[in-house]
Chains A and B, each alone.
Chain A
Amino acid sequence: MTASGVLQIVVYFLILLALTKPVGTFMARLFAGERTFLHPLFRPLERLIYKLSGVREETEQRWTQYAASLLAFSIAGFVFAYLIQRLQGILPLNPQHFGAAGAPPSATPVTPDLAFNTAASFVTNTNWQSYSGESTFSYLVQMAALTVQNFVSAAAGIAVAIALIRGFARQQMTSIGNFWVDITRATLYLLLPLSVVGALFLCSQGVLQNLHANTVVKTVEGALQSIPQGPVASQEAIKMVGTNGGGFFGANSAHPFENPTPLTNFVQMLMIFVIPAGLTYTFGKMVRDTRQGWAIFAACSVMFLAGVFIAYPAEQAGNPILAHHGIRSSPTAGQPGGNMEGKEVRFGIASSALFAVITTDASCGAVNGMHDSYTPLGGLVPLFNIETGEVIFGGTGAGMYGILLYAILAVFIAGLMVGRTPEYIGKKIEQKEVKMAMLALIATAASTLVFSGISSVATFDWDHSKYLNPPPATLKPAPASSVPPTANLNNSGPHGFSEILYAYSSATGNNGSAFGGINTNTPWYNATMGAAMLIGRFLFLLPLLAAAGSLAGKKKVPATSGTFPTHGPLFVCLLVGTVVIVGALTFFPALSLGPIVEHFLMYSGKLFT
């Protein structure tokens, strides 16, 4: 590690810490229906929206109504996104003529499975991209389908988190808020202003924002190069603050038009965490004990910094095999040293490792380097972050309700040891809550493990007419009648296995970052990963909404010296322990056959091509 690298990380954390309280306070006021400094600006618009849509602001919903509204909204968004993708050829704002006559030869066709996958991906706030945006979708699709979902899927996540917090904050109530009001406020007062400010800043740093067709230029060697254009900055800002992660370009935040400078890189990292970190304070504020919020913040910080300080030294240490061959891997004044494969020179090792950890702690999935090229340990950290459910600050809202799930579990398991039936924030944790928490955990574990399991052994028909999983063009047709499961992988052995595991972990965790190295734009992967995203989103949040409903109806037990204290360092350790141990116990066998064994093999001198 270098001093400047460590300094970047420390400064990042301190700024995040400083932002948490003001952002958290703002959100607490916003969702309590109090006036904020943005009300003069947006309140008339908010009223107008309610008037036009017939939403009655004061009417609250039971958890079932809240969940039904959320589902209806998501299904509508899904159908709209699917149709607009399939019909982009006949719709406007399509200067590249995607999906119509005159499309560039390199364009990716939008098949039903790809459209399903993409619609599922954006509705679930996953933003997994089986395609490269610049060669697949028209500007209309990017803006009307994808960017809109970037906003509202993030807002829906925040709404669910707020609803669950209300479950803890309220007592003896049947309602947990109004979904339509929550999602409107989250979009209007929170995501929109942050995105506008963010987009303007990114533009100032050189990020594109136009509706031009690609610029074709003649290079010095005389070849023709098509330089992509488009409304990048507007999508980029919400991609970060909504922890969406779906880039305008296939290269995502590694692309100089998306993330041109170290400063934009730093700001983008802050944009990922600002709402999730703020929500910890919002939680404390809403349950009227800010210590509870800071305890969650502390637990997240411990896991975040632990991840950074495992991944960063691993990347900085680089590959011992290269060192063995006499290649210098320690940093010098002119050289970063370490493992620079798959990283942008303008960001370097510390910022890339930090970015990778942040984007997988949150369910963002934006990348500024290729995780596939990280060292085994450097890749293990993002993978493990995703598999624990992205609760280390986590996605907008999703992180908060995820960590509350773990808090419920931690309190339930260890809370008995104080000699009382478990309570969290004064609410008794009983059958219903435990059942719902387990349901959410089982659904996500099953999705990741079962789909990875099938994908690592299933073989597919070689016959092109019933082709489920075509191998890349480079693979020569084999004489056998079926394609081995590894056909779509770039790498063999444990690294290849990590690629499969990462893909389904990312889909189920609604992260959307790719390990890379796997071609997923096939009917098999598009369908199964789409399903994984839907499971990971809805079978996770619906049980938690049910828990919120049950919690809201309970009385609050006043805290005494006999109550399990959930605001001290002891609870922070317990929460961290629960997240790590539950995650490790579920995924250790799988991880041991992927990054863990690869790590040991690398140190014994073996690489995988």
Chain B
Amino acid sequence: MSTATAIPPVINDPTVLIPKKLARARPLFDPEIISRALKGSFVKLNPAILWKNPVIFVVEVGAFVTTIFLVRDAFAGAAGIGFTLQIAVWLWFTVLFANFAEAMAEARGKAQADSLRKTKTDSIAKRYTSGGKIDEVPASKLRSGDTVLCETGDIIPGDGEVIDGIATIDESVITGESAPVIRESGGDRSAVTGGTRVLSDQVKVKITSNPGETFLDRMIALVEGAERQKTPNEIALNILIAGLTLIFLLAVITLQPFAAFSVASAGAGSVPSVAVLVALLVCLIPTTIGGLLSAIGIAGMDRVMQHNVLAMSGRAVEASGDVNTLLLDKTGTITMGNRQAVEFLAVAGVAEATLADAAQLSSLADETPEGRSVVVLAKEKYNLRGREVGEQEANFIPFSAYTRMSGVDISGRHLRKGATEAIINFVREQGGRVPPNFLDLSERVSRSGGTPLAVCDGAQLLGIIHLKDIVKGGMKERIGQLRAMGIRSVMITGDNPLTAAAIASEAGVDDFLAQATPKDKLEYIKREQGEGRLVAMTGDGTNDAPALAQADVGLAMNTGTMAAKEAGNMVDLDSNPTKLIEVVAIGKQLLITRGALTTFSIANDVAKYFAIIPAMFMVTYPALANLNVMHLHTAQSAVLSAVIFNALIIIALVPLALRGVKYRPQGAAGLLRRNLMIYGIGGLIAPFPGIWVIDQILVFLRLA
């Protein structure tokens, strides 16, 4: 068996951290979403809502003031009303475009929520009464602590814990994954989620949540954005752009007296009109980032959701971009879930084929992945075919924790495989002896990070099966990428240090924690945090809960226990621990998008000054025409072009804000250089041709 086929499709291409095809992805321009967003952009014109976004609120006030002056001028029959009208119209468009961006992001969340809500039906629960009888009540009447019976075909009425029985359950409502999962009492697979359906068998479930507080309810609220709070970085960025808005407000307001002085002194021209001053103000304040900031945040959450990860808060997504240390469980994350046989090591005097044959025979009834891998290896290496052995000819001895071995008694042979110690004891009991190089072989396997599995035929020790943890394909590359991003990856394993070190070096992780108990994990996290690092981890068991809660990003597996899910701040509905790496990449992408658009927005201002300032004082100081480097046609076309460019750029960047900027895992220096070039220098240059083109069109259409 080649390892490549077993890798989940997401890591087929190790250079792509964020895969493109996603279960819950929606097209960017879904007509339904767009129509909803269009409506939303008008609703958001309400100043009571808009004032929360200071930059766009200032634009709205500016548009309002301009409109009032427009009406006044219209009644007075003043000249140049067409120009003021166009300015006013474009200012209102600027507000609408900004609203549209946010409404679009929200509508996408709402669409997700709606599709989830459709699955939420009020089912009937079979509740146990205190007398042990069953009465049927609507699921909405259930309270935490009630016990219910769920049988084949039932919808599980609420979140809970299986306390008795085992059942296959269809969780596609939550995970989007149609393959059924098994839930059973005890252990780490006991949690069931309300809204999922029992496919077979029956279980007794203890309800752990009240109606309206179930996982599905929370999920709907989260994707809908109802609980959305601004993240710390978003608040800080809001302060920055509000501060810049205030500075530009000062610059524009004081321009009025400066202009009055200049006009009086030059004896020519007039002080710029209110419409022009408002136009200048709107062009200067960071409307691009102001309009897109909340859309970026919502879209970030949405992107996480598209990866089938449920983030409990935007803060968690933001923190995942900042993660310095990633704790990765060895099993299931770094290595395939199970160890596999990779080699047969026969003792001196025994042919390898003999060993392989015995090993295969002893494993025929062994349904564990390890057992099957022995059969497969023997087939691949020695072309030994798996034989159908009937129960009547053979007596299979199952593995038990007491004997620590399994095997088969067939045609008088006693084939056994198991832990080295156990087999040695077995052989000695049978009167055999341990060949001299046997212990060497066993030692060699252990030292290379593998697990030795001894095989004997009665009193004769045949050799060792080398069981090995298989590191997932592409894992080493991904760990390398993480390192390039400045993230240390730490492998957590219950193995002994020797085995752990071997696998750690094979996977290329930076550190490992061997023989880790949940307490060790918690200590490790605290130590890292004490040194100022942010830590992310995955977990599913109840004993992971304290560590999940302590970690800055705790990704709980959906298959895990309720305790784990509540302790973490994200839940992976696919229960794929490797997802943690994608979550980190999405967090980074979110932050980069914010920074890129902020830089772009501020850099844009330079060109707008070159358009508007010479236009404002064309009559007072004709010499300022030297600053009109774009050779815009008239004062009016120049001001209008700048305002139109400013409005259109918001709409043009909506897809970027929603999708996020392209992110390649690389070091900070390279990323910064690249993004500064594109969004900094690009932002400085782009408006020049942009405004020029709009000016050409305006003149062509005789609008200015």
Q: Interface residues, chain A, CB within 8 Å of chain B?
A: 171, 409, 412-421, 426, 429-431, 434-435, 438-439, 441-442, 445-446, 449-450, 452-454, 456-457, 484-486, 492-494, 496-497, 500, 555-558, 560-565, 568, 570, 574, 577, 581, 584-590, 592-593, 596-597, 600-601, 604, 606
B649 at the A/B interface (Cβ < 8 Å)?
Answer: no
Q: List 18 A-B contacts (CB under 8 A).
A: A412-B237, A414-B599, A417-B599, A417-B679, A419-B589, A420-B591, A430-B232, A438-B244, A442-B246, A445-B251, A449-B250, A452-B254, A485-B261, A497-B261, A588-B609, A592-B627, A600-B623, A606-B623
Q: How far is the CA of A430 from the CA of B588 in the complex (A)?
A: 17
Give the residue among B236, B261, B673 with the most A Cβ atoms within 10 A: B261
Whether B613 and A561, one on each chain, are in contact in the complex, defined by CB atoms closer than 8 angstroms, is no
CB–CB B595/A417 < 8 A: yes
Is the CB of B636 closer than 8 A to any CB of chain A? no
**Number of B residues with CB within 8 Å of any CB on chain A:** 77
Q: Are B486 and A457 in contact (CB under 8 A)?
A: no
Is A414 within 8 A of B595, CB to CB? yes
- Give chain A residues whose Cβ lies under 8 Å from the Cβ of B233: 416, 421, 430
Considering only residues 247-264 of chain B, those with a C-beta below 8 Å from chain A are: 247-248, 250-262, 264
Shortest beta-carbon distance from A131 to chain B in Å: 26
The residues of A that contact B581 with a CB separation of less than 8 Å are none
Nearest B-chain residue to A574, judged by Cβ: B676
- Contact with A560, one of B255, B486, B680 (Cβ below 8 angstroms): B486
Contact indicator B239/A435 (Cβ below 8 Å): yes
Residues in A neighbouring B266, C-beta threshold 8 A: 493
Inter-chain contact B251/A587, CB cutoff 8 Å: yes
Bound state CA distance, A412 and B595, in angstroms?
8
Given the known A-B contacts A413-B240, A497-B265, A600-B624, are A565 and B532 also in contact in the complex, defined by CB atoms under 8 Å?
no
Contacting A561 at CB < 8 Å: which of B284, B485, B663? Answer: B485
B671 contacts A by Cβ under 8 Å: yes
Measured CB to CB, the nearest residue on chain A to B248 is A585
On whether the beta carbons of A565 and B669 are closer than 8 Å, the reply is yes
Chain B residues closer than 8 Å to A497, beta-carbon distance: 258, 261-262, 265
Question: Do B592 and A446 have beta carbons less than 8 Å apart?
Answer: no
Among the stretches B132-140, B190-198, B316-324, the one at the interface with A is B316-324
What A residues does B264 contact at CB under 8 A? 484
- Among B246, B262, B488, the one with the most A-chain Cβ atoms within 10 Å of its Cβ is B262
Contacts of A456 in B (CB 8 A): 257-258, 260-261
A418 and B232 contact, Cβ closer than 8 Å, known pairs A562-B487, A597-B624 = no
The reply to whether the CB of B368 lies closer than 8 angstroms to some CB of chain A is no
* Contact across chains for A449 and B254 when beta carbons are under 8 A apart: yes
Known contacts A430-B236, A587-B251; A419 and B321 CB within 8 A of each other: yes
Q: With the chains together, A581 CA to B284 CA distance in Å?
A: 12
CB atoms of B322 and A586 under 8 A apart: no
Complex contacts, B261 vs chain A, CB 8 Å: 456-457, 485-486, 496-497, 500, 593
Residues of chain A within 8 A of B626, CB atoms compared: 600
User: In the assembly, what is the distance between CA of A421 and CA of B258, in Å?
Assistant: 40
**Contact mask B181-207 → A, CB, 8 Å, 1/0?**
000000000000000000000000000
Residues of B within 8 A of A589 (CB): 251-252, 255, 258, 280, 609, 613
- Residue of A419, A486, A587 with most chain B CB atoms under a 10 A cut-off: A419
B594 within 8 A of A: yes
Q: What would 6 more interface pairs be, CB under 8 Å, given A497-B258, A593-B262?
A: A416-B598, A431-B239, A434-B239, A565-B669, A597-B624, A600-B626
B239, A563: Cβ atoms under 8 Å? no
Do A457 and B257 contact each other (CB < 8 Å), given the known contacts A561-B484, A601-B621?
Answer: yes
Closest 4 pairs between A and B when the two form their complex, measured CB to CB? A562-B486, A416-B595, A419-B588, A438-B243
Per-residue contact bits, chain B 309-350, to A (CB 8 Å; 1 contact, 0 not) = 000000000100110100000000000000000000000000
Minimal beta-carbon separation of A485 from chain B (angstroms): 7
Tell me the number of A-to-B contacts counted with CB atoms below 8 Å: 233
A421 lies within 8 A of B318 (CB): yes
Q: Are A431 and B243 in contact (CB under 8 A)?
A: no
In the bound complex, what is the Cα–Cα distance between A415 and B679 (angstroms)?
13
Is chain B's interface secondary structure helix, strand, loop, or mixed overall? helix
Choose from A419, A586, A601 the contact partner of B485 (Cβ within 8 Å). A419
Interface string of B482-495 (1 = CB under 8 A from A): 01111110000000
Residues of B near A581 (CB, < 8 A) are 602-603, 605-606
**A573 CB to nearest B CB, Å:** 8
The answer to whether the Cβ of B668 comes within 8 Å of any Cβ in the partner chain is yes
Decide yes or no whether B23 CB sits under 8 A from chain A.
no
> How far is the CB of B412 from the nearest CB of chain A, in Å?
64
Residues of B within 8 A of A419 (CB): 321, 485, 587-589, 591-592, 663, 668, 671
Query: Closest CB of chain A to B531's CB: distance in Å?
Result: 6
Q: Give the docked Cα–Cα distance between A140 and B483 (Å).
A: 66
Q: Are B322 and A421 interface neighbours, CB within 8 A? A: yes
Cβ of B586 to closest chain A Cβ, rounded Å: 10
Mark B216-257 against chain A: 1 for CB-CB distance below 8 A, else 0: 000000000000000011011101101110111011111111
The residues of A that contact B235 with a CB separation of less than 8 Å are 431
The chain A residue with its CB closest to the CB of B596 is A417
- Contact between chains at B621 and A418 (CB < 8 Å): no
For A457, the chain B residues whose CB sits under 8 A away are 257, 260-261
The CA of A581 and the CA of B627, in the complex, are separated in Å by 17
Q: In chain A, what residue has the closest Cβ to B674?
A: A417
Min CB gap A459→B, angstroms: 11
A414 close to B322 (CB less than 8 A): no
The answer on a CB contact under 8 Å between A420 and B322 is yes
Closest to B614 in A: A592
* CA A300 to CA B105, docked complex, whole Å: 43
- Tell me how far the C-beta of A162 lies from the nearest C-beta in chain B, rounded to whole angstroms: 23
Q: How far apart sit A597 and B262, CA to CA, in the bound complex (Å)?
A: 11
Contact of B627 among A438, A453, A496, A596 (CB under 8 A): A596
Q: Which residues of B contact A601 (CB under 8 A)?
A: 621, 623
Residues of A within 8 A of B679 (CB): 417
Q: How far is the CB of A553 from chain B (nearest CB, A)?
A: 13
Query: Contact between B254 and A590 (Cβ–Cβ < 8 Å)?
Result: yes
User: Does B667 lie within 8 Å of A562, measured CB to CB?
Assistant: yes
B424 vs chain A, min Cβ distance (A): 48
User: Which residues of the other chain, A, contact B324 by a CB distance below 8 angstroms?
Assistant: 557-558, 560, 562
Contacts of A493 in B (CB 8 A): 262, 265-266
A230 to B532, CA, bound (A): 58
- Is B394 interfacial (CB 8 A cutoff)? no
Contact A604 B623 (CB under 8 A): yes
Given A413-B598, A450-B250, A581-B606, residue A420 in contact with residue B321 (CB < 8 A): yes
Shortest C-beta distance, A505 to chain B (Å), equals 13
Distance of A485 Cα from B671 Cα, bound (Å): 53
Q: Does B36 contact A (CB under 8 A)?
A: no
Give CA–CA (A590, B256) in the complex, Å: 10
B438 to A: closest C-beta gap in Å: 47
The complex places the Cα of A560 from the Cα of B669 at a distance, in Å, of: 11
Q: Does B99 contact A (CB under 8 A)?
A: no
B659 beta carbon closer than 8 Å to chain A: no
CB distance from B453 to the nearest CB of A (A): 41
CA A445 to CA B594, docked complex, whole Å: 26
**Closest chain B CB from A227 CB (angstroms):** 40
- Give Cα distance in the complex from A412 to B602, angstroms: 13
Chain B residue nearest to A431 in the complex (CB): B236
B629 within 8 A of A: no
Residues of A within 8 A of B613 (CB): 588-589, 592
- B675 at the binding interface (Cβ < 8 Å): yes
Given A430, A445, A593, which contacts B259 in the complex, CB threshold below 8 Å? A593
- B672 touching A449, Cβ below 8 Å: no
CB pair B598–A449 under 8 Å, yes or no, is no
Once bound together, how far apart are the Cα atoms of A441 and B266, in whole Å? 32
Q: A486–B592 contact, CB under 8 A?
A: no
B617 within 8 A of A: yes
Give the shortest distance, in Å, between A228 (CB) and chain B (any CB).
37
- In this assembly, does B476 line the interface, its C-beta being within 8 Å of a C-beta of chain A? no
Q: Is the CB of A585 within 8 A of B605?
A: yes
Give bound CA distance, A87 to B368, whole Å: 100
Contact check, B669 vs A593: say whether CB atoms are below 8 A apart.
no
